[in-house]
Structure 1
Amino acid sequence: MTPSALILKAPRALAFEPLDLPQLGRGEVLIRTLYSGISAGTELSQYRGTNPFMHRRFDEALRLFMADQNPSWPYPVRHLGYEEVGEIVETSVADLPVGARVYGTWNHRTHFVAPADYARERLMPKGADPRIGIFSHIGAVALNGVHDANIRIGDLVAVFGLGVPGQIVVQAAAQSGAQVIALDPDPLRRETAVKLGAWMGMEPEGAAERIKEMTGGKGADSCIEVSGAAPALAEAIRAAAYASRVVAMGFFQGELSGVRLGEEFHHNRIQLICSQISGVAPEASHRWSKPRLWRTAIELQHRGVLDLMPLITHEAKFEDAPAMFERLDKGEAGMLQAVLSFQS
């Protein structure tokens, strides 16, 4: 396959760009991509041009978005994709042989030159299906959210939004000892969640009243919002028990309409926690890190604790990536994890 990368020239305008592969330096390996997952969250916000990094500059030192004329991600965007797995096809490192498989983030591209330390820390387990590697980052996002929910064995946890990250949250929360209610307007997504570990599925409209009735008026011990939809966050706040925690994992775009902070949020002393993969909870940072979360997402799959392969519903060749993005953008029914294959 000719070395190339997928880029975004303008909103909804994808193109392929040739890759010039440099000669390997000392301590480097050349990875040929096998599979790359498409994120229906962050990547679609790039594809649609709604991501805040495309309109404002994020000041790393101040951690503030600045409204100036120099956005952080100008066009053409060359960093689409963060769910990759590949195999080493050329190496200058003795303990990283040709054929070894590596997971990581190197965007939708056919090849990637990686430093030895990068590849060494991301080796796939021997004998593992390489496709589990595409869940390293999105799996870490989900695990981070479950950690932020402070789940205890026996808790009742409501998960709002059953896209790929929500489905992983459901499984991880259930494996943590919680009874999980999986909420989404899509009955097929609810059915998938129940098959893979949820206690029950439920439509989100009116969920707060039903959850309160089920719990004798108490509510859910914690709610995790994974859709990035304002109505889901509003209902999660309403469904949470007094002085309990709502974890906001979803990537909310623009302002939030319908989130009434003067009602249940205020009167029930709800804790609203943002969970985002740029960091872990400070109290756990001496033990947990992003590399550990990535590795754990792979190992839990390899050990059979998490079963994420059923989430892969659509696969296309790399050259058909624009059509796959268009299908995701239109919200095609039945789509969860879309995967690009680089197999010849």
Structure 2
Amino acid sequence: MGRLVRFSSPRAAEVVDFDEPSVENGEVRLETLFSGISAGTELTAYRGSNPYLSNEWDAARRLFVPGESTHAYPLDAWGYEEVGRVVEIGAGVDPDLEGALVWGTWGHRSSIVRPAQWVRERIMPEGLDPILGIFAKIGAIALNAVLDADIHVGETAVVFGAGVPGQIVAQLARLNGARVICVDLVRERRQLAETLGASLALDPTAVDVAERVRALTDNRGADVVIEMSGSYHALNEAIRTAAYSSRVVAAGFFQGPATAIRLGEEFHHNRVSVVGSQISGVAPALQHRWNELRMSTTALELARDGKLDLQSLITHTMPAENAPSAFEMLDTSPQAALQVVLDYRSRA
């Protein structure tokens, strides 16, 4: 028997048993070492606000439509930040895979069976701490936003939201040659952003961000703004902060109807472009070279090479059996943690 995290109803998480499938030809079994909790996407499922729970996603037309919801409670093994070790191989699989460390997406569960080819493409970079494998997909999400931002050397990039994806975006934007300014409500997150290389971190309750950025840029405004918080108020401020005829990348997961978006003001008068960024696709001009697998691999290789600090983003590591309390903490006290990691090794 294995163990997985189940959302039985809104704001109710538990750890339950599940039957582990057998390993067939061409497959391997991965034993999970760590899984990371996404404090954005996963909390929408935990809280019950995720649009897949109230609408049907029509994949062919790429529309949410009324009808049966795509997902319903109980939700088993929700999550996308995992790393594990190959502990069993099926017939026809090269024995060199046994024992390999692998990153991927299989949710909060103690084990998973996956095709050997899928696993081979996701072997951890040699020399990288295994726990950092949990950042593969969130690293891809952040890198996708930076690719959509089209940042150039010498530009000023403002990042709204200094949670895990925002911290990674800020570091990647700096690697692209930008001066980076972070905006967040939480003091500790602002301090971390500056420690990791941001030129400045602003508290939006203490300063008018748009005015401060213009004061720092000869009244131009930000060359590009990346919104990672999923706050409509922050999106409106991101639009106010952007320079004339420049770009706002909206990569946060917004919930519910839009509020506080004043489209008749700076958006209209400054010809601001708002670009949606989501991991299901890459900018058309880059699709012949970039995909999610390359973005994830790139993020982990940058961490291995010391160019991207992911270790500093981990604030809590706890046994996987404590997952219910971890979700409760992230839901009720989001300022108390940044990246929470579940550790499955105690079951070994």
Q: How does 1:1-344 map to 2 (within 5 A)?
A: 2-68=1-67, 70-92=68-90, 93-205=93-205, 206-344=208-346
- The 2-side partners of 1:155 and 1:246 are apart by 14
Q: Deviations over 1:162-199 (max 9, x none)?
A: 00000000000001100000111111101100111111
Deviations along 1:40-68, one digit per CA (max 9) or x if unpaired, are: 00000000000000000011111111122
Counterpart Cα distance in 2 of 1:126 and 1:305: 16
**Any idea what SS the aligned residue of 2:31 has?**
strand
TM-score, structure 2 length as denominator? 0.96
CA displacement, residues 123-151 of structure 1 (integer Å, 9 cap, x when unaligned): 01223210110000000000000010010
Q: Partners in 2 of 1:199 and 1:95 — Cα distance?
A: 49
Deviations 1:87-136 (A, max 9, x none): 01111322543221000000000001110011000001223210110000
Contact 1:54–1:73 under 8 Å retained in 2: yes
Q: In structure 1, what is the Cα distance between the partners aligned to 2:289 and 2:95?
A: 27
Judge conservation of contact 1:240–1:270 (CA < 8 Å) in 2: yes
> Is the 1:45–1:51 contact (alpha carbons within 8 Å) kept by the matching residues of 2?
yes
CA distance in structure 2 between the aligned counterparts of 1:280 and 1:332, rounded to whole angstroms: 30
Distance in 2 (alpha carbons) for counterparts of 1:134 and 1:310? 13
Give unpaired runs (5+ residues) of structure 1: none
Deviations 1:210-258 (A, max 9, x none): 1112112110000000000111111110010000000001111011111
Per-residue deviation, residues 251-304 of structure 1 (Å, max 9, x unmatched): 110111111001000110001000000111011000001111111111111111
> Deviation string for 1:3-34 (max 9, x for gaps)?
11111111011223322222211111111000
State the distance in 2 between where 1:224 and 1:174 align: 13
Secondary structure at the aligned position of 2:80 is classed as coil
Q: Distance in 2 between matches of 1:50 and 1:7?
A: 16
1:122 aligned counterpart, secondary structure: coil
Q: Secondary structure at the match of 2:335?
A: coil
- Contact kept, 8 Å, 1:160 with 1:204, in 2: the verdict is no
Question: Matches of 2:333 and 2:110 in 1, distance apart?
Answer: 27
SS state at 1:333 partner: helix
Query: Which whole-Å CA distance do the structure 2 matches of 1:193 and 1:71 have between them?
Result: 38
Please tell me whether the aligned partners of residues 188 and 334 of structure 1 are also in contact (alpha carbons under 8 angstroms).
no
Per the TM alignment, residue 79 of structure 1 is displaced from its structure 2 partner at its CA by 4.0
Q: Distance in 1 between matches of 2:156 and 2:107?
A: 37
Cα distance in 1 for residues equivalent to 2:125 and 2:256:
40
Residues 95 and 300 of structure 1: CA distance in aligned 2, closer, same or farther (over 3 Å): farther
Q: What is the distance in 1 between the residues matched to 2:313 and 2:114?
A: 28
TM-score normalised to the size of structure 1? 0.97
Q: Within 2, Cα distance between the matches of 1:33 and 1:303?
A: 25
1: distance between equivalents of 2:279 and 2:116? 24
1:62–1:21 distance in 2 versus 1, CA, 3 Å? same
Alpha-carbon distance in structure 1 between the residues aligned to 2:139 and 2:82:
12
Deviates more, 1:92-101 or 1:6-15: 92-101
Secondary structure at the residue paired with 2:75?
coil
Q: Structure 1 residue runs of 4+, over 3 Å off?
A: none
The answer (yes or no) to whether the contact 1:96–1:120 under 8 Å persists in 2 is no
